[in-house]
Amino acid sequence: MTITQHIKNPNILVYGETLIDEFPQQNVIGGAPFNVARTLSLFGARPLMVSRIGQDQNGTAILAECARTGLSAEGIQIDAQHTSGRVVVELASASNTDCIEGGEGTEGIEGIEGTTTTHRFHILGDQAYDYIDAQLVTTLMEKYYQDAPPDLIYFGSLIQRNETSQASLMALLEADITEGASKFLDLNLRDGQASLETIISSLNYCDMVKLNEDELAYVIQHACPAVAGTAIKDDEVGLRLACEAVMAEYYMQAIIVTLGARGYFYLDANGICLHSLDQSPAAIEIVDTVGAGDAFAAVFIYGWQSNWPIEKTLTAAHRFATTICGVRGAVAESKTFYQDALQAFEQMPV
């Protein structure tokens, strides 16, 4: 099977940071939204990435990665004053037996064997992605979405730390031209990078949210007044009660909680509750856990847009997130990797 590029208008809009993760041994292109957009593109979807980079070597590398993965760079603005995003990463060791969800900003994620992977991310401030120009975004929207909005708009919290990019996002989410698009929030909280006001606003705008256990606990404690102070039990009953509280507060369609090595917990407005709590974690040799959560989000969006049954969508997302832990970086170098994954998705029972 061959993944072909489409010439139709992009029907998924990904808004957020593109950046360089500076690991001790190497630099890796990253940013959760960019990881999601690249993965979707490699699967043959039609995402449009909206971000901003500097006129520098890192910006050139980001544009080259767009070309390599077939991702349109039309929505990536060039900033003559600010540098491309940078994150300085410190890390320790990782378990080689169980896949753990990791990602930009993750700290102290413990595996089944008790080995801890520690990624400490120092996210530099005042970067190009903090200054996404609203007028340029509007022009792009008018070019592609006069007849119909994108199917889905993906956004997170880091991109909202600066009022310029936050205002551009709010204008996008509130625009008449994007009315009808589903809003997917990948919360991705980073220490000191998002205010409570931003978190509450984001939850109010989204139709679906993906967050991890720590983020769910934070939302329950600080953004759900009706249940503030309630401790979350990490079993099926406790997670369901917590998810129901968030959904009741923010009237969203679905909530996805990623559970590290235990997989996921899903609840939607129709009362469908699915999880992998009873499944044994897949054994895999861990190469790098960074980007596993982004891989999950990308496949969930791909399955949602492809009208897969929700059971298949979640299973495929979980399996792919596990698989991506076996390669270096959030996005594999080999395009065959994605062709093989698509074949495996197609062979899954409906």
Chain segment 196-247, per-residue pLDDT in tens: 999 999 999 999 999 999 999 999 999 999 998 888 888 999 999 999 999 9
**234/344 Cα distance (integer angstroms):** 31
Helix (H) / strand (E) containing 169: helix 163-174
Q: Please state whether 271 falls in left (phi above 0), alpha (psi between -120 and 50) or beta.
A: left
User: What's residue 77's pLDDT?
Assistant: 98
**pTM over the 0.75 mark:** yes
User: What's residue 109's pLDDT?
Assistant: 29
CA angle 176, 179, 185 (to 5 degrees): 125
**63/43 Cα distance (integer angstroms):** 19
pLDDT in tens, 206-215: 999 999 999 9
**289/102 Cα distance (integer angstroms):** 5
Helix (H) / strand (E) containing 245: helix 236-250
Of residues 100 and 260, which shows the higher confidence score? 260
**263/147 Cα distance (integer angstroms):** 39
Dump the DSSP string for 262-298.
Answer: G-EEEEETT--EEE-TTSPPPB---S--TTHHHHHHH
User: What's residue 327's pLDDT?
Assistant: 82
Statement: residue 100 has pLDDT above 60: no
Q: How many CB atoms lie within 10 A of CB 197?
A: 10
Count how many Cα atoms sit within 13 Å of the Cα of residue 233 in the half-sphere of its side chain. 6
pLDDT in tens, 129-154: 999 999 999 999 999 999 999 999 99
Domains located in the chain, CATH noted: 12-345 (3.40.1190.20)
User: What's residue 201's pLDDT?
Assistant: 97
